Structure 1
Amino acid sequence: MYGIALSVAACLRGGTRVDVAWSLDPEQTPTFDPTDAVAITPGGGRLGSLLGGALDSRLVELSLVGANEGRVVACALDELESSALGVPQGTVVRIVFAPADVLPDEIWEPLLERKPVAIVATKDDDRLRKIRLIAPEGSTGFCLEDEQLSANWAPTPSLVLFGGGPMADALDHAAEFVGWSVERVSGADHAIGIAATLSAIDGIVVMGHDTEAVGRVLQAALGSRVGYIGSIGPSSLQQDRGDWLAFRGISDTRRVRGPAGFPIGARTPEEVAVSVVCEMLSVRNDADN
């Protein structure tokens, strides 16, 4: 839901119909992010991704019906769908499909801010009525009982890695171990674009000897809302990066953790990665308190 919030909110402001769908059975497809959702606009346009697009054709057909209420759709996966998802043929995945305008108006702002969100709805057969916001609790999860649906979304922290090599490999593994979403980026322009989308729960770590490229990414990160900015490398590289930023009028670099990571005497890339992940967790938890 977090990935489509901006697009859906824009459609609603513009008076464009848009339908939203998400899976109620993330345990059936554990390789996919349980917060994933897809938005479908008139004509079959798709925003975001749900289950890698395996059910898109079904969802487009539902959208063409133009229903004015939410519903729960049980999809028994055919051979192609089950193969794409890596599950046995005939596996049933329950999908919520709803016009965005039947969801509470207040849902989109916290989703845009990447905050936890929860809703509850009355279930009448497969129809959903009286959808309203409730206080979120815990991690992402869904509960469908005889007469009620509850859905709780909690954002997955993202870690963007700019640079490569053994250090990036170790950070990738360490961040995934604690359940974060990791994106590795080699081009500075790409990293700068991603930095603008990051929130307070996310992090970006830069590494490498190209002071110009690393400096540009740090500059973008400092201008964003990202919660953790890490700079990997010895003191000489940190000085070069600081000088590059200062020359461009950026003297307040207190948000940059450089060298990144807690000072635990780390020697190997794996040890450094553990110290960086712990530091990012500490920064995020301090911001929450």
Structure 2
Amino acid sequence: MANFSQEPDTAVAVLGKALEWLRQGHQVALATVVRTWGSSPRRAGSMAAINETGAFCGSVSGGCVETSVLEEALEAMEHGHSLTLSFDVSDESAWSVGLACGGTIAIRVVPMTGPGAVHSELYDAVVASIGQRRSCFLVTDLASNRVDFYRTSARLRACFPGLPSGQLEAGVFNAREQQWFLNVFEPPTRLIVLGGVHIAQMLVPMAQLAGFDITVVERRKAFAAEARFPGVPVLIENAGVALGKLAPDARTAVVALTHNPELDDPGLIAALDSPAFYVGALGSRRTQEQRRLRLLECGVGLGQVERLHAPIGLPIGAATPGEIAVSILSEIVSVFRGKG
């Protein structure tokens, strides 16, 4: 079996690979985690795509659970039926199947080709929506296997008024006297790095492994050299201008790393005036106090200035560029997950 797990394993990336296989003439099935209890390394909504050769992309668990899902997916493609698999694992055997401790996971396996297949245009719509950095939703009737696409949460809530009022998350819910599965697709988190310095060279590959889309902004050509950030977009221009073009949204983090007010401040002013969920800047407490006064003098509101994470990063005693990068990425993830 070919394992494409080195590729991004977000649900959208998995759908992209599944659609690519379809265009190449393969039979394809999708496996989706619909519910978890106890410990599970993959959240509800996690996906894997499998084709008839046994090649797969993504992950729904690990160990023998993954193997069993692949086998069931091959059978589902052959017979054209959907099914829900449930795995109940005791604490004693949890490690062998990829669970940290005992738990139960339910996984829905659906063929994308053949009799009973779900129409691929729904998944095309998901990929297109995420490409435009717009969230979208799929709702599956678990009894009939009907899947519907929703472009907005407002439309979804209008059709299912019993959904929780807070942030929507993937999972099974009850409505109209039956069960449904909601899968939530969000644009990837973005990280805009102001300054192509050494710490940035450590931070960028770490953030890529964590699933961030990265853009480096650096107006100094020597620091913006392609060899310093291979395969990563680098904008060679003023940080304020670049932020205007990049338009940070609520799934964007911005970090200023040059330690040079002339280079950092224009970008910080633009970032603090945006919906970016995290804005951080390198520097000591004294540097931050000076930066704070400058930003206020430039007309940045007090509330906006107080959004700035500076000194940047979690206080883990980081000393080397690599350790500082770890502390920065850890703080970004903590804030994004509502823990910071």
Q: TM-score, normalised by structure 1?
A: 0.59
Give the letter for the 1:119 counterpart: V
Alignment of 1:267-286 (within 5 A): 267-270=310-313
Name 2:110's counterpart in structure 1. Answer: 98
Give distance in 2, aligned partners of 1:14 and 1:136: 33
**Cα distance change of structure 1 residues 13 and 224 upon mapping to structure 2, 3 Å threshold:** farther
Give distance in 2, aligned partners of 1:51 and 1:71: 17
Deviation of 1:151 after TM superposition, in Å, equals: 1.9
**Cα distance change of structure 1 residues 214 and 43 upon mapping to structure 2, 3 Å threshold:** closer
Task: Give the number of equivalent residue pairs.
Answer: 235
Give distance in 1, aligned partners of 2:63 and 2:187: 20
What root-mean-square deviation, in Å, do the aligned CA atoms of Structure 1 and Structure 2 show?
4.9
Give distance in 2, aligned partners of 1:104 and 1:29: 32
Confirm or deny that 1:45 pairs with 2:60: no
- Contact persistence 1:162–1:204 (CA under 8 A): yes
1:219 aligns with one of 210, 230, 234: 234
**Cα distance change of structure 1 residues 70 and 144 upon mapping to structure 2, 3 Å threshold:** farther
Name 2:100's counterpart in structure 1. Answer: 86
- Contact persistence 2:28–2:51 (CA under 8 A): yes
**Cα distance change of structure 1 residues 270 and 97 upon mapping to structure 2, 3 Å threshold:** same
Give distance in 2, aligned partners of 1:106 and 1:225: 29
Give the letter for the 2:111 counterpart: P
Give distance in 1, aligned partners of 2:73 and 2:67: 10
Give the letter for the 1:232 counterpart: L
Alignment of 1:246-265 (within 5 A): 257=271, 263-264=305-306
**Cα distance change of structure 1 residues 143 and 3 upon mapping to structure 2, 3 Å threshold:** same
Higher Cα radius of gyration: 2
**Cα distance change of structure 1 residues 28 and 3 upon mapping to structure 2, 3 Å threshold:** farther
Q: What are structure 1's unaligned runs of at least 5 residues?
A: 169-183, 243-252, 282-289
- Contact persistence 2:280–2:312 (CA under 8 A): no
1:73 aligns with one of 85, 91, 97: 85
Deviation of 1:10 after TM superposition, in Å, equals: 1.1
Give distance in 1, aligned partners of 2:247 and 2:125: 15
Give distance in 1, aligned partners of 2:47 and 2:187: 14
Q: What are structure 2's unaligned runs of at least 5 residues?
A: 1-10, 158-166, 237-241, 273-278, 282-303, 316-327
**Cα distance change of structure 1 residues 267 and 7 upon mapping to structure 2, 3 Å threshold:** closer
Name 2:292's counterpart in structure 1. Answer: none
Give the letter for the 1:121 counterpart: D
Name 2:145's counterpart in structure 1. Answer: 129
Give distance in 2, aligned partners of 1:256 and 1:214: 24
Confirm or deny that 1:107 pairs with 2:122: yes
Alignment of 1:28-67 (within 5 A): 28-29=38-39, 31-52=41-62, 55-65=65-75, 66-67=78-79
SS at match of 1:95: strand
- Contact persistence 1:69–1:129 (CA under 8 A): no
Alignment of 1:175-214 (within 5 A): 186=202, 211=223, 212=225, 213=228
Deviation of 1:150 after TM superposition, in Å, equals: 2.3
**Cα distance change of structure 1 residues 257 and 11 upon mapping to structure 2, 3 Å threshold:** same
1:148 aligns with one of 163, 179, 182: 179
SS at match of 2:45: coil
Alignment of 1:169-180 (within 5 A): none
Give the letter for the 1:130 counterpart: R
Give the letter for the 2:305 counterpart: P
Confirm or deny that 1:238 pairs with 2:281: no
1:120 aligns with one of 132, 136, 140: 140
2:22 aligns with one of 8, 12, 29: 12
Deviation of 1:30 after TM superposition, in Å, equals: 5.3
**Cα distance change of structure 1 residues 36 and 225 upon mapping to structure 2, 3 Å threshold:** farther
SS at match of 2:305: coil
**Cα distance change of structure 1 residues 5 and 217 upon mapping to structure 2, 3 Å threshold:** same
